[in-house]
Amino acid sequence: MSNRSPDILFQLIKSLEKSEKRHFKLYIKRSSAKEDLKIIQLFDAVDKLKEYDEKLLLKKLPGTEKRQLYNLKTHLYKEILASLRLLKSADSIDLQLNEQFDYAHILYKKGLFMQSLRILDKAKETAKYHQKFNFLTLVIALEKRIESLHITRGMLDRVEQLSAEANEVSNHIDTVSRLSNLALQLYSWFIKHGHARNEKDEMRVIQFMQDHLPPNAWKQTGFYERLYLYQSYTWYAFIRQDFLLYYRYSQKWIDLFQSQPLMIRVETGHYIKGLHNLLNAHFDLRNFQKFDITLKQFEEFSTTDRVVENDNFRIQAFIYIASAKINRHSMMGTFKEGLPLVPGIEEKMNDYALFIDNHRILVLNYKIAMLYFGSGDYATCLDYLQKIINDPTDLRDDLQSYARLVHLLAHYELGNTDIIESLARSVYRYMSKKENLTVIEEEILKFLRNSFDVSPKKIKPELEKLLSKIKHLEKNRFETRAFAYLDIISWLESKVYEKPMSVIIYNKYLASKKRLYH
């Protein structure tokens, strides 16, 4: 199935579950006297399509012209959304609040002002309880309109109260807006560029943070102010590869939800994203024990009704948990044990292809490629890396660069001597153009370009020299991404000590556990 079809009706129908399809048909039949509605026929016809094909669709709807089809599709799209709104309203605070506002507006239009105000009062309390301040703006605006155009019994007492509420909500929304903008812009920077490549990149990010962080940000105590503040510092630290700071703010992000459990339901997506970042922080710092605790917490949460019954949350949880499980095998060196995960992940990726953004697909493909690289299956590793290299989107320069570097290393492992030199030059040009070359990467590329001019007897001393050159860079902040994307030290050690890379990493994991318990 071509899940990337641009037809929005096709996408919407393919996203529906059986219960949602059943509810839609009941909804349509209740609201119509005709059993053979054309939109039901259209719904069934589209539902049976594997790929969107308008010519085939018209054949399945005899008597329908192309112009009529457009109108039918528009009508069907609106009716499906109306049906979903009814079905999902009990599960969404936003939908419930908007429904109450709609009722209040209808009563206002009917001239039933006091009834309208009563509903608005209840909606306002619900909004405050769930910290939905943007909704409060709508409520207060309608309240002010009623009070200014119609004299109600409580007008004299309410005028000052409404004015004060309006000012308070306005100030709150302004602060939240500025902080959420900051968090989103920093995240966008990472999606485009990845980690800071050098001091120039880092200074740009530091300056951006100083220019856009509201001066009163740390004085704010509201949930959303704190959430977006912690998110901003999470991305700020991650871009700068300050993984300890990244861990601290990822933990604050989750602690905020733990201190206000109600908000886990209200902002489930942000909670899931926070768990994902906390897992990444544990991975970057090799906090093995805390990683397992957080992963267990995440997996348990993913089985709750809140996640299982919501398409978006279920898919989001799948992506992040799949990524974490691969990371776990990567940091323990159990690459071969991780391979059985791949078929299930790929099956889900295919099922959810309509809903997974391209960035996530790139990341998962890279992680799967690294499982095969660590397992010694370099040919399959190349297949997954090729998916990244051939991707037409302009995302993650760093990921694209490392896909090419690992692609080169896989060919080196396979002994494809005839292409190594030209491939190394190509990778060097690409990474230089993207300003993605660090000292470690330059040394690796230099070694690979010259390696086939060195006799087999002399290659081991050359590898030892290279390992010695780059091992001391392990703690250099601008070099750490070389170890996050590819454990290059362990790869070199596997060559020097003539052991599989998986064994080298696993022994480090065991040594780390031993230090922890002693």
Which residue type is seen at 449? R
SS3 state at 97: helix
In tens, the pLDDT along 188-211 reads: 888 877 788 778 888 999 999 999
Write the DSSP string, 213-249.
S-TTGGG--SHHHHHHHHHHHHHHHHHTT-HHHHHHH
Tell me the average pLDDT of the chain: 87
pLDDT band at 92 (very low <50, low <70, confident <90, very high): confident
**What are the CB-based long-range contacts (under 8 Å, 24+) for 320-326?**
320/272, 320/273, 320/275, 320/276, 320/279, 321/295, 322/348, 322/364, 323/276, 323/363, 323/364, 323/367, 324/276, 324/279, 324/283, 324/291, 324/295, 324/298, 325/295, 326/364, 326/367, 326/368, 326/370, 326/371
- Compute the chain's Rg from CA coordinates: 28
pLDDT reading at 156 higher than 60: no
What mean pLDDT comes out for the span 146-170?
73
Cα angle, residue 15 at apex, residues 52 and 72 outer, rounded to 5°:
55
- Using DSSP's 3-state secondary structure scheme, residue 109 falls into helix
Tens digits of residue pLDDT in 409-450: 999 899 888 888 888 889 888 888 876 677 788 888 888 877
Q: Is the pLDDT of residue 3 over 50?
A: no
Q: d(Cα 254, Cα 260) in Å, to the nearest integer?
A: 10
Tell me the domain boundaries of the chain.
8-90, 95-153, 362-518
Give 331-384 pLDDT, tens digit per residue.
Answer: 999 999 999 999 999 999 988 887 888 888 999 999 999 999 999 999 999 999
pLDDT in tens, 347-356: 999 888 878 8
- Angle among Cα 257, 262, 266 to the nearest 5 degrees reads 90
Q: pLDDT tens, 444-463? A: 888 887 776 666 667 888 88
Q: Report residue 233's pLDDT band, with 50, 70 and 90 as the boundaries.
A: very high
pLDDT band (50, 70, 90) for residue 87: confident
pLDDT at 317 over 80: yes
Question: What single string gives the DSSP state of each residue in 462-486?
Answer: HHHHHHHHHHGGGG-TTTTHHHHH-
Amino acid identity for residue 420 in this structure: I
Q: What is the pLDDT, as a whole number, of residue 1? A: 38
The mean per-residue pLDDT over the stretch 472-495 comes to 76
Q: Is the pTM of this model over 0.85?
A: no
In the chain, what percentage of residues exceed pLDDT 90? Answer: 46
Query: Which of 224, 255, 253 is CA-nearest to residue 238?
Result: 253
Task: Tell whether the model's pLDDT for residue 263 goes beyond 70.
Answer: yes
Long-range contacts of 376-379 (CB under 8 A, 24+ apart): 376/413, 376/500, 376/501, 376/502, 378/410, 378/411, 378/413, 378/414, 379/410, 379/414
Note the pLDDT of residue 506.
94
